[in-house]
């Protein structure tokens, strides 16, 4: 079975995250065992991204969501290492600014949507407005509960304008998160990531899981599917996300555009210059 089907949340289904194994690695036993496939997908990503850029008819939006230390930054590094930065962008959504709060909640998202030919990765996304906002009671339930339908409509509009949307929930266990927090404490190169809110948010784990289950159940659509990616093993997370993107882009049957100049004329010019 293709990864794009294996990890997709079927539209209309009810997601129970406790039933999804965060340590799942398919048929792979180790990173070493999967290294050849990871490298193959990395090369394929670059080829397909060049086609996307050259074709210039559509764009790709990758949304990454997950708990703190879930691997959003690591996933982005894996993609950026595989892609030509000329056609790849990253947008990060932190606490809204005063200007952003003065607009509707999707305003800042729309401004970051990729133009045709470009792949953009969202580090967090518009779903923060039905996750953090909900868990911390930042707006009334009547406000955030109406946003699921607004998000679905927004994404449908983007897809109808040739934006391909793939959304990934990086699924880690509470135990794995604590392990990664310990790594941050013990490794100087990672200590800058430490936040006092990390452990406070852990106390709300159950609330976040409920909120994520609603997001995955209500906002996985045929045009903008959600994928739940087992992410306790970082290498498998990278493999699974990359493979899904590769499979989706292959399904677009992208082609290089025909040259806009007379190739034979240019070839004659080249040979004339070479002989002079």
| CATH code at position 34 | 3.40.50.300
Give me 169's structure tokens.
């929930």
Q: How far, rounded to the nearest angstrom, does the alpha carbon of residue 220 sit from its chain's CA centroid?
A: 14
Return d(Cα 156, Cα 158) in angstroms, integer: 5
Q: What is the pLDDT of residues 102-117, one digit of tens each?
A: 999 999 999 999 999 9
Q: What is the mean pLDDT of the chain?
A: 94
At 6 the pLDDT is 98
Statement: residue 154 has pLDDT above 80: yes
Q: How would residue 166 be classed by pLDDT, with cut points 50, 70 and 90? A: very high
Return d(Cα 148, Cα 100) in angstroms, integer: 19
Q: What is the pLDDT of residues 169-213, one digit of tens each?
A: 999 999 999 999 998 888 887 777 777 777 889 999 999 999 999
- CA-to-CA separations, 78 to 58, 95, 139, in angstroms, rounded: 23, 25, 35
Q: What is the pLDDT of residues 8-53, one digit of tens each?
A: 999 999 999 999 999 999 999 999 999 999 999 999 999 999 999 9
Give me 14's structure tokens.
């009810």
Domain count, the chain: 1
At 12 the pLDDT is 97
Contact 83, 119 (CB under 8 A): yes
User: Could you count the other beta carbons within 10 Å of the beta carbon of residue 124?
Assistant: 17
DSSP calls for the chain: --HHHHSB--TT----GGGS-TT--TT--SHHHHHHHHHHHHHHHHHHHHHHHHH-S-EEEEEEEESTTSSHHHHHHHHHHHS-GGGEEEEE--SPPHHHHTS-TTHHHHTTSPPTT-EEEEES-GGGGGTHHHHTT-S-HHHHTTHHHHHHHHHHHHHHTTEEEEEEEEE--HHHHHHHHHHHHH-GGGGGG--THHHHHHTTHHHHHHHHHHHHHHS--SSS-EEEEE-SSHHHHHHHHHHHHHHHHHHTT--PPPPSS-HHHHHHHHHHHHH-
Q: What range defines the domain where residue 18 resides?
A: 3-275
């Amino acid at each position: 079975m293709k990864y794009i089907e294996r990890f997709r949340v079927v539209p209309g289904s009810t997601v129970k995250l406790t039933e999804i194994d965060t340590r799942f690695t398919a048929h792979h036993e180790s990173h070493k065992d999967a290294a050849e496939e990871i490298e193959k997908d990395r090369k394929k990503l670059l080829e397909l991204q060049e086609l996307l850029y050259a074709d210039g008819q559509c764009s790709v939006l990758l949304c990454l969501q997950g708990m703190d230390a879930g691997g959003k930054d690591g996933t982005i590094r894996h993609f950026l290492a595989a892609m030509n930065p000329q056609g790849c962008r990253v947008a990060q959504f932190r606490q809204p600014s005063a200007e952003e709060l003065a607009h509707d909640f999707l305003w800042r998202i729309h401004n970051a949507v990729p133009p045709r030919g470009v792949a953009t990765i969202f580090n967090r996304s518009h779903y923060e407005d039905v996750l953090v906002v909900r868990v911390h009671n930042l707006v009334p339930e009547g406000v955030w509960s109406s946003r699921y339908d607004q998000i679905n409509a927004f994404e449908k509009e983007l897809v109808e304008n040739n934006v391909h949307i793939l959304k990934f929930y990086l699924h880690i266990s509470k135990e794995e998160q604590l392990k990664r927090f310990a790594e941050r404490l013990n490794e100087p190169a990672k200590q800058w990531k430490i936040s006092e809110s990390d452990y406070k948010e852990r106390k709300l784990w159950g609330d976040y899981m409920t909120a994520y289950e609603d997001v995955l159940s209500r906002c996985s659509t045929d045009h903008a599917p959600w994928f739940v990616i087992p992410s306790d093993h970082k290498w498998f997370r990278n493999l699974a996300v990359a493979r899904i993107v590769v499979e989706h882009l292959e399904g677009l049957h992208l082609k290089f555009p025909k040259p806009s100049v007379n190739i034979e004329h240019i070839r004659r010019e080249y040979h004339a210059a070479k002989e002079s």
